[in-house]
Amino acid sequence: MSTRLSRRQWLATGAAGLAVAPLGSSLLWARPPVKNPRATDGDDRHEPDWTQRLTITVGHQGADLNGRDDKVVQAALDYVARLGGGTVHVRAGKYVFRNAVQLPSGVRLRGDGADTILTKIPSTTIALADDSDWYDQEVTLKNAKGFRVGDGVVLITKNPHNGSQDVIKRTLVAQKGNRFKLSDGIRKNLWLTGKPTCSTMFPLLTSENTADVVIENLALDGDKKNNMNLNGNYAGNIFLQDCNRYTIRGVESREYNGDGISFQICHDVVVENCYSHDNANLGVHPGSGSQRPVLLNNRLERNTIGIFWCWGVKFGLAEGNRIVGNRNFGISIGHCDTDNVMRNNEVIDSGKVGILFRDDPRGRDFWANRNLIENNTVINSGPSDGIAIDVQGQTKDTKIRNNRLVEKRGQMKRVGLRIADTAGVVELADNQFQGFSTDLIDQRKD
């Protein structure tokens, strides 16, 4: 009898084999571990643990690079990035920016703590004097006073097609009178019918599509009283977009007319031992789609919201944070923010609610499901009818356990924990209540 297999029989045999050892299993990919890595051209997965890398110092005088503005910090970062990465040490002093510093991959930006202050010029806003189409790379201002080549600007207009607001961030790279060339094309219509404006607004530190960066031991001052407000989807003292593996440690972020720290669609970001306070909007803003953020041992004080989990933030951890005096909410979580843990935080003196699970009825299942709230202390939340923890919408599969909810200002109409009648399974265990008019309101029908 012939032992030759037909093509059909061979394919069936192969499929059966893959069912036993699926692609990617250790049976097919049992590679030996890398025990003594060498620097190999083009291999960015394994490197030796180098004990020393390039460090460039920046200061007012006596440093490798001397100056007092964004240009000197940017020059140092670009230099170390060109040589494969390293540290830029910004020495004590005040550095006044006219544009955002762009962070390249593989760098460490380090200061001397509170003595290294990065701040910005007061913002200037002027209307445009002529139409610019979406394919243009220039704008004409009514008055160029307060604007220079090299400035970071934001262009804001009403979209002529749907009435929404368009926000465009660019740098001024050339000038002739009131006309300025931009660093990139506009890609939106800046028509006078939309009342477009140009403002010298920008984040202090920013990046897009980069990875493996450390920011530490700096004070960032957004000079809120002299600057216009800019939404945290576009800016903040620190603003990151589409970045991976950032660590922000020991940073004070204050007085930004917007967010203190904001990162959008960024993964594996760690914010640790930072002090984000007195910002107009959010203390820390893990932005839309960000995966696995870690927020550890931060102080978040006197912002509008302390921690704002945006849309689709998943598998994150907020632990050991002290969240005090935020005007609306200490912690807010909502649209598709699932599988996060909030543990061992102190949430004190929130203006409306201590911990809010937002309602979002616009989709089939847009709620903050499968989150764990445990071992937190929530004190003095909201006005006379305030709520320590408010679970709204169809939130489900969430655990709230071992939390200490306290009201020290008198009972009034204050509530410890409220669960909406539309909510799904919410597991409660061993929570302690003190000083409320009503400890628990569970509006769900049995």
For residues 204-220, average pLDDT: 98
Residue 1 has pLDDT above 90, yes or no: no
Q: In this structure, what token pair is assigned to residue 419?
A: 């669960």
Minimum mean pLDDT among 19-23, 57-61, 313-317, 366-370: which range? Answer: 19-23
Percentage helix, strand, coil for the chain under 3-state DSSP, each rounded to 5? 10, 40, 50
Quick one: 217 and 342 in the same domain? yes
Report the DSSP beta bridge partners of residue 103. none
Residue 302: is its pLDDT beyond 90?
yes
Residue at 251 is within a domain: yes
Query: Do 68 and 173 share a domain, yes or no?
Result: no
User: Residue 49's pLDDT is what?
Assistant: 86
* In a shared domain, residues 161 and 114: no
DSSP 3-state of 402: coil
290 within domain boundaries: yes
pLDDT of residue 181: 98
Q: In Å, what is the CA distance from 396 to each residue of 289, 329, 336, 442?
A: 20, 21, 11, 13
In this model, does residue 441 exceed pLDDT 70?
yes
Last residue of a domain, one of 183, 199, 215: 199
User: Which of 191 and 46 is assigned the larger pLDDT?
Assistant: 191
Do residue 140 and residue 80 come from a single domain? no
**Residue 18 belongs to a domain:** no
pLDDT of residue 12: 45
- Residues with Cβ within 8 Å of 11's Cβ and at least 6 positions away in sequence, in order, are none
Confidence check: pLDDT of 47 > 90: no
- Specify if 41 maps to a domain: no
Q: How would residue 26 be classed by pLDDT, with cut points 50, 70 and 90?
A: low
- At residue 200, the pLDDT reads 98
pLDDT score recorded for residue 45: 84
pLDDT at 13 exceeding the cut of 60 = no
| Model pLDDT for residues 264-297, shown as the tens digit of each residue | 999 999 999 999 999 999 999 999 999 999 999 9
pLDDT for 248 beyond 60 = yes
- 114 and 146 part of one domain: no
434 and 339 fall within a common domain = yes
Is residue 124 predicted with pLDDT exceeding 90? yes
pLDDT of residue 29: 65
Distance CA 74, CA 102 (A): 7
Average pLDDT over all residues of the chain: 94
% pLDDT > 70, the chain: 93
Give the span between the Cα atoms of 80 and 439, in whole angstroms. Answer: 57
348 and 304 in one domain? yes
pLDDT at position 51, please? 87
Backbone torsion region of residue 174, taken as left when φ is above 0, otherwise alpha when ψ lies between -120 and 50, otherwise beta: beta
Please report, for the domain that includes residue 314, its CATH number: 2.160.20.10
> What pLDDT sits at residue 31?
86
**In terms of residue numbers, what domain contains 326?**
54-119+202-442
Q: Which two tokens stand for residue 357?
A: 């699970």
pLDDT tens column, 336-356:
999 999 999 999 999 999 999
Domain boundary among 158, 183, 199: 199
Q: Is the pLDDT of residue 52 over 80?
A: yes
pLDDT number for residue 148? 98
Of 169, 199, 229, at which residue does a domain stop? 199
Q: Are residues 65 and 130 in the same domain?
A: no
Instruction: Assess if residue 85 is contained within a domain.
Output: yes
267: phi then psi, degrees, rounded to nearest 5: -120, 140
Task: Assess whether 93 and 155 both reside in one domain.
Answer: no
Predicted pLDDT of residue 431: 98
Count CB atoms within 10 A of the CB of residue 17: 12
How far is Cα 255 from Cα 94, in angstroms, rounded to an integer? 15
| Residue pLDDT, tens place only, 185-208 | 999 999 999 999 999 999 999 999
How many domains is the chain built from? 2
Question: Does residue 90 surpass a pLDDT of 50?
Answer: yes
Please indicate, yes or no, whether the overall pTM of this predicted structure exceeds 0.85.
Answer: yes
Which residues, at least 6 apart from 259, have a Cβ–Cβ distance to it below 8 Å?
A: 232, 235, 236, 237, 239, 279, 281, 282, 283, 285
Residues 182 and 314 reside in one and the same domain: no
- Check pLDDT > 70 for residue 4: no
Which residue has tokens 């025990």? 35
Residue 6 lies in a domain: no
pLDDT of residue 446: 58
pLDDT, tens only, 221-231:
999 999 999 99
Do 215 and 348 lie in one domain? The reply is yes
Query: Is residue 2, in this structure, part of any structural domain at all?
Result: no
For residues 31-36, average pLDDT: 90
pLDDT at 439: 98
Check whether residue 78 and residue 227 sit in a common domain: yes
**Residues 76-98, mean pLDDT to the nearest whole number:** 97
E strand segments, 46-98: 54-59, 65-66, 86-90, 93-97
